[in-house]
């Protein structure tokens, strides 16, 4: 969700907590479990028992990461600013 001045209202606690791991091993984020860690766990709609569900944000980021349009480092740095 975008709030005042274009800032994101999400805190991304999980992603920030695991940021060093993502930066050390960016290929992990291209795996199914890595994508869930990177994208899903901070989402307000995430449910631990719904690993098979793939929302539009998941699919879009998966595509962008696979095509090297965006990197894990870029995502981590954007969230940690």
The model's pTM: 0.76
Looking at the DSSP bridge assignments, the partners of residue 2 are: 8
Domain positions in the chain: 4-80
- Is the pLDDT at 2 greater than 90, yes or no? no
H-helix or E-strand containing 62? helix 56-66
Q: How far apart are CA 2 and CA 22, in angstroms?
A: 24
Confidence band for 9, pLDDT divided at 50, 70 and 90: low
- Select the more confidently predicted residue: 10 or 14: 14
Classify 46 as helix, strand or coil.
coil
Classify 16 as helix, strand or coil.
helix
Give tens-digit pLDDT for 25-73: 999 988 888 988 888 888 888 888 877 778 898 899 999 999 999 999 9
Cα torsion through 14, 16, 21, 26, rounded to 10: 100
């Amino acid at each position: 969700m975008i709030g005042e001045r274009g800032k994101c209202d999400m805190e991304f606690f999980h992603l920030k907590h695991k940021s060093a791991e993502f930066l050390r091993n960016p290929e992990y984020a291209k795996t199914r479990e890595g994508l869930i860690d990177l994208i899903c766990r901070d989402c307000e709609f995430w449910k631990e028992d719904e690993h098979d569900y793939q929302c539009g944000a998941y699919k879009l980021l998966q595509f962008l990461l696979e095509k090297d349009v965006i990197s894990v480092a870029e995502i981590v740095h954007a969230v940690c600013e």
